[in-house]
Structure 1
Amino acid sequence: MTDPTSTATAPAPEAPPDRGTQRRTSEVAVPLGVMAAVVVALVLVYAVGQRATDLVTQSIVTGLLLGGVYALVSVGLTLIFGVLGIVNFAQGAMLTMAMFLVYEMTTSGGLPVYVATLLAVPIMFLFGVVVQAALLNKLTLAGSHEGPLLVTLGLSLLIINVLLMIFGGRPLRVPGSVDGSVEVFGAVASYERLIAFGGALLVAVALLLLLRRTSFGMSIRAVSANAEGASLVGVDVRRIYALTFGIGAACVAVAGGLMAPFLSLTPTVGEQFTILAFVIVVLGGLGSVTGALLGGLVIGLVQTVGALYFPGTGSLILVFAVFVLVLFFRPQGILGAPQ
Structure 2
Amino acid sequence: MGLTHNCSDKKTLKRWFFIDKRVGRKPIPSKLDDVRASGWLDAMKSSSPPRKKLSKDLGINFVSEEEVAYRSWALKYPSAITSFEQIIRNANGKKIALFLDYDGTLANIVVDPERAFMTNAMRAAVRNVAKYFPTAIVSGRPRDKVYGFVGLTDVHYAGCHGMDIVSPVRETMSIANHPNCIRSTDKQGKEVFLFQPANEFIPMIDEVFISLIEKTKDVEGAKVENNKFCVSVHYRNIDEKVWPAVAQCVHEVLKGYPRLRLNYGRKVLEIRPIIDWNKGKAVEFLLESLELESEDVLPLYIGDDNTDEDAFKVLREKNRGYGILVSSFPKETNAFYSLRDPSEVMEFLKSLVRWKKSTAAL
Higher RCO (CA < 8 A, seq sep 6+) = 1
Q: Normalising TM by the smaller chain, what interval?
A: under 0.3
Between Structure 1 and Structure 2, the one with more strand by share is: 2
- Choose between structure 1 and 2: higher helix proportion: 1
Which TM-score applies when normalising by structure 2? Answer: 0.25
